[in-house]
């Protein structure tokens, strides 16, 4: 295995790509510690410690703690993800974007450019909201988060946060073009991994002080490996539909006559259903933070607390729903059947056209069901661990949920690209047998 890792640095292009990626990630981490002007960091940290399990805590996870520290990268890459989702959804209902999606590389470039503009607009709007939100925050000690609020603070915060998001978007695109792996996904990956050392230190401290028995800690480690293996299997699992292309003659050359397959993943939707579901579930508790003290606020907070049974059940149901919803958006059986028919392809034993689309749709529905259930169980697993064992949510999040799915998915995708470079230059891959299948990009 060490010889295979050493082969990575024997290929000049791969070595340069990895070095470039690491440098970009270093710049991203440095920017995540540059604070905004006019913020009382102590008062802000005190507020977030009380609201770690609301929508603010979820947002902070994706930006590696930059939101809690109120840095210039506080918005992170989330505006870009929001813009990408919006244009992806518009591609299913707006004819203009449907046309762009079918124009190949030129259409993709146009959509990418529109996504960039959309990112800047969303970032500016969110930055304005964040500046107003920060002005209204008061820590439990009574100290205001913004000692000197006003129009100057609002304008400076909007400019800083919008510029920070634009820079992050550019850094991600540079990694994708000149580095290794998907840049946007890697930035989110690094933000999540940033919390891992603190979780390890926390567990080590509990064992050293006798708070947790060494055997229980060993059980957690085994459980972590088992859950990670299950997530890998979920990410890689697929159903292959065989496709045969008929032979056809063009001039003096003959084309077709090959056999291939359509890979339908068990989890085609990736991590998006969990993000959608958790965003919805965190809205009530986030709204409760702005309500006056009283019975309704306490009832709302308790009902939608992350460790409540109602929260876990509703989250599971929403994840199953959004898994089917998002899969239907990104995989259209009618388009797959039409493209196959245009290129002379057919599923053996199935008529081209409507019968083929119905056949693909029925298989996709059956394959998605176990994937949706597994995704829901993985999402609520951290909550179960927090309730049943003496584990903090920061540590439990690595046993499932959004964090583990993103880490596994991005890790597999990056390893697949490294594997491709090695095999292309006649080196042994990182795996002794088989190949690492990359996942769908975020």
Is-contact 430 409, C-beta < 8 A?
no
Residue 261's CATH number:
1.10.3370.10
Residue 75 exposed, middle or buried by CB count within 10 Å (0-12, 13-18, 19+): buried
User: Are residue 143 and residue 228 in the same domain, yes or no?
Assistant: no
Give the pLDDT confidence of 242-269 residue by residue, as tens digits: 888 776 666 666 655 677 888 888 888 8
Is a pLDDT exceeding 90 seen at residue 167? yes
Within a domain: residue 429? no
Are 280 and 182 members of one domain?
Answer: no
Per-residue H/E/C for 2-41 = HHHHHHHCCCHHHHHHHHHHHHHHHHHHHHCCCECCCCCH
Residue 437 in any domain: the answer is no
Residue 235 forms part of a structural domain: yes
Q: Tell me: do 309 and 389 sit in the same domain.
A: yes
Q: pLDDT tens digits for 372-428? A: 998 888 888 888 887 777 777 777 777 777 778 888 888 888 888 888 777 776 655
Q: Are residues 115 and 234 in the same domain?
A: no
**The pLDDT of residue 315 is above 80:** yes
Q: Tens digits of per-residue pLDDT, 268-300?
A: 888 778 777 877 776 676 676 666 666 677 777
Residue 199 included in any domain: no
- Give yes or no: residues 24 and 66 share one domain: yes
Both 155 and 246 in a single domain? Answer: no
Q: How would residue 322 be classed by pLDDT, with cut points 50, 70 and 90?
A: confident
CB atoms within 10 A of CB 83: 21
Which residue segment(s) compose the domain that 22 sits in?
A: 1-194
Which stretches within 137-150 are classed as H helix? none
Query: Are both 249 and 387 inside the same structural domain?
Result: yes
* 164 shares a domain with 16: yes
DSSP character at residue 255: E
128 plus 228 within the same structural domain: no
282 and 321 housed in the same domain: yes
Q: Residue 22: pLDDT band by 50, 70, 90 thresholds?
A: very high
User: Would residue 34 count as lying in a domain?
Assistant: yes
As a three-state string, the secondary structure of 334-396 is HHHHHHHHHCCEECCCCCCCHHHHHHHHHHHHHHHHHHHHHHHHHHHHHHHHHHHCCCCHHHH
DSSP category for residue 431: S
Mean predicted confidence (pLDDT) in 142-164: 86
Q: Please check whether residue 417 lies inside any domain of the structure.
A: no
pLDDT band at 50 (very low <50, low <70, confident <90, very high): low
Helix-helix angle 12-31:151-178, to 10 degrees: 170
Query: 432 lies in a domain?
Result: no
Lowest mean pLDDT among 40-44, 112-116, 284-288: 284-288
Name the strand (E) or helix (H) holding 314.
helix 309-330
Distance CA(120)–CA(123), nearest Å, equals: 5
Q: Is 268 found in the same domain as 183? A: no
Domain end, chosen from 128, 159, 194, is at: 194
Per-residue confidence band for 117, with pLDDT thresholds at 50, 70 and 90? very high
* 215: enclosing H helix or E strand: helix 214-236
Q: Which of 180, 238, 275, 177 is nearest to 439 (CA)?
A: 238
d(CA 280, CA 379): 14
Provide the number of structural domains found in the chain: 2
- In this structure, are 24 and 81 located in the same domain? yes
Predicted pLDDT at 130: 80
Residue 96 lies in a domain: yes
Q: Which residues, 6 or more positions from 114, have their beta carbon under 8 angstroms from its beta carbon?
A: 87
């Amino acid at each position: 295995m060490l010889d295979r890792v050493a082969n990575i640095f024997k290929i000049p292009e791969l070595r340069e790509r990895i070095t470039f990626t690491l440098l970009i990630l270093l710049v991203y981490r440095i920017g995540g510690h540059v604070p905004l002007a006019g913020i009382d960091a102590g008062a802000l940290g005190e507020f977030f410690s009380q609201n770690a399990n609301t929508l603010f805590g979820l947002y902070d996870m994706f930006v590696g703690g930059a939101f809690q520290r109120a840095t210039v990268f506080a918005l992170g890459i989330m505006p870009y993800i929001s813009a990408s989702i919006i244009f992806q959804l518009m591609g299913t209902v707006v004819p203009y974007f449907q046309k762009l999606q079918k124009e190949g590389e030129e259409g993709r470039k146009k959509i990418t450019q529109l996504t960039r503009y959309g990112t800047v607009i969303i970032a500016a709007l969110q930055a304005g909201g964040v500046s107003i939100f920060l002005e209204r925050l008061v820590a439990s000690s009574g100290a205001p988060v913004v000692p000197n609020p006003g129009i100057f603070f609002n304008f400076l915060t909007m400019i800083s946060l919008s510029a920070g998001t634009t820079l992050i978007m550019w850094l991600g695109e540079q990694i994708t073009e000149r580095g290794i792996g998907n840049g946007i996904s890697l930035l989110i990956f690094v933000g999540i991994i940033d919390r891992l050392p603190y979780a390890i230190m926390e567990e080590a401290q509990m064992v050293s002080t006798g708070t947790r028995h060494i055997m229980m800690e060993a059980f957690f480690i085994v459980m972590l490996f088992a859950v990670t293996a299950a997530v890998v299997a979920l990410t890689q699992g697929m159903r292959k539909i065989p496709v045969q292309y008929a032979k056809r003659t063009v001039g003096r050359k003959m084309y077709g006559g090959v056999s291939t397959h359509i890979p339908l993943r068990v989890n085609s939707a990736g991590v998006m259903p969990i993000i959608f579901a958790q965003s919805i579930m965190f809205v009530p508790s986030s709204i409760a933070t702005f309500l006056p003290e009283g019975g309704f606020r306490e009832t709302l907070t308790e009902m939608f607390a992350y460790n409540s049974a109602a929260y876990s059940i509703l989250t599971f149901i929403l994840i199953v729903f959004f898994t089917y919803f998002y899969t239907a958006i990104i995989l259209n059986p009618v388009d797959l059947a039409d493209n196959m028919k245009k290129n002379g392809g057919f599923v053996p034993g199935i008529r081209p056209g409507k019968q083929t689309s119905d056949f693909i749709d029925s298989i996709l529905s059956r394959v998605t069901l176990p994937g949706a259930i597994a995704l829901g169980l993985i999402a609520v697993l951290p909550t179960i661990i927090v309730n049943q064992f003496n584990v903090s949510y920061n540590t439990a999040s690595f046993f499932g949920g959004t964090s583990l799915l993103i880490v596994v998915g991005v890790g597999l995708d990056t390893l697949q690209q490294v594997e491709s470079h090695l095999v292309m230059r006649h080196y042994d891959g990182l795996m002794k047998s088989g190949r690492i299948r990359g996942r769908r990009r975020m």
